[in-house]
Chains A and B, each alone.
Chain A
Amino acid sequence: MAHLTIATSETAVQKLFNGIRDNFSIDESDSVDFGPFTAGYEVAFHLEGGDVDMQADNSIVVKELDIKWDKLRFYAGIDIPELCIGGFCIIALPFVGCVLRAPEICIFEDDPDIGIDLDLNGLLTSEISLAAKPDLQYVVNPARPAGMNWLDAEDANLANMWKLFIDPEWVDIDIFDWSDIVGDLLENALDNAIDDLLFFLPGWAKDLISAILGPVIDLVRGILDIGDDIDEWLSDLLGVSLGLFDLIITAVADLLADQFPLIEIEDPFPILPYQGSLIPVKLPIEDLDVTFTEDELVITASIGETL
Chain B
Amino acid sequence: MSAKINRHLIKQTRFDSGSLTQLGFVAHQYKTSGRYKVDVYRENELRTSCYIDVDTDNESLQASIELSGLELGINTSKKGSCCDSNVKIYKINREGYALFYVNKGAGKYHVKSYYLESRGESYLFDSTTLNKGDLFGLTLLRPGRYQLRDGNSNPLSSLVVEAVKPLEKKYVPPEAINVELSEIHKMKEISLLQAQGIIFNAKSDNRVIIDFEDDDEKHQCGDRPIAARWTKSNAKRG
Contacts and interface: CB of A to CB of B under 8 A. Distances in A.
Task: Please give me the 3 A-B residue pairs with the lowest Cβ-Cβ distance, nearest first.
Answer: A203-B222, A211-B171, A210-B166
Q: Which size bracket describes the interface of A in this complex?
A: 35 or more
Q: Please classify the interface of chain B as helix (H, G, I), strand (E, B), loop, or mixed, using the class held by over half of its residues.
A: loop
A206 to B, nearest CB: 6
Interface in B155-190: 163-173, 175-176
A107 B5 contact: yes
A109 B6 contact: yes
B221 A203 contact: yes
A85 B196 CA distance: 9
B66 A200 contact: no
Interface of B: 1-6, 9-10, 22-23, 25, 27, 61-62, 64, 66, 95-97, 99, 101, 103, 135, 137, 139, 141-143, 163-173, 175-176, 194-195, 197, 199, 215, 220-229, 231, 233-234, 237
A227 B22 CA distance: 39
Given A90-B199, A204-B220, A85 B64 contact: no
B170 A200 contact: no
Most buried by A among B5, B141, B164: B5
A103 B170 contact: no
A100 B61 contact: yes
A287 to B, nearest CB: 59
A91 B201 CA distance: 11
Interface centre among A88, A114, A193, A205 (most CB of B within 10 A): A88
Nearest to A214: B170
Nearest to A206: B222
Contact of A110 (B2, B61, B97, B165): B2
17 contacts: A86-B197, A90-B135, A99-B62, A100-B97, A105-B139, A109-B6, A112-B4, A113-B1, A115-B1, A202-B10, A204-B142, A204-B215, A205-B10, A207-B222, A208-B171, A208-B194, A210-B166
A107 B6 contact: yes
Contact of B1 (A86, A100, A197, A202): A197
Interface string A81-101: 000011011110000000111
A203 to B, nearest CB: 1
A117 interface: yes
A106 interface: yes
Nearest to A198: B3
Contacts of B227: 200
A91 B96 CA distance: 10
Contact of A103 (B5, B6, B99, B166): B99
Contacts of B66: 103
A301 B149 CA distance: 105
A210 B163 CA distance: 12
B97 A105 contact: no
A31 B228 CA distance: 30
B102 to A, nearest CB: 9
Contacts of A202: 10, 222-225
Contacts of B221: 203-204, 207
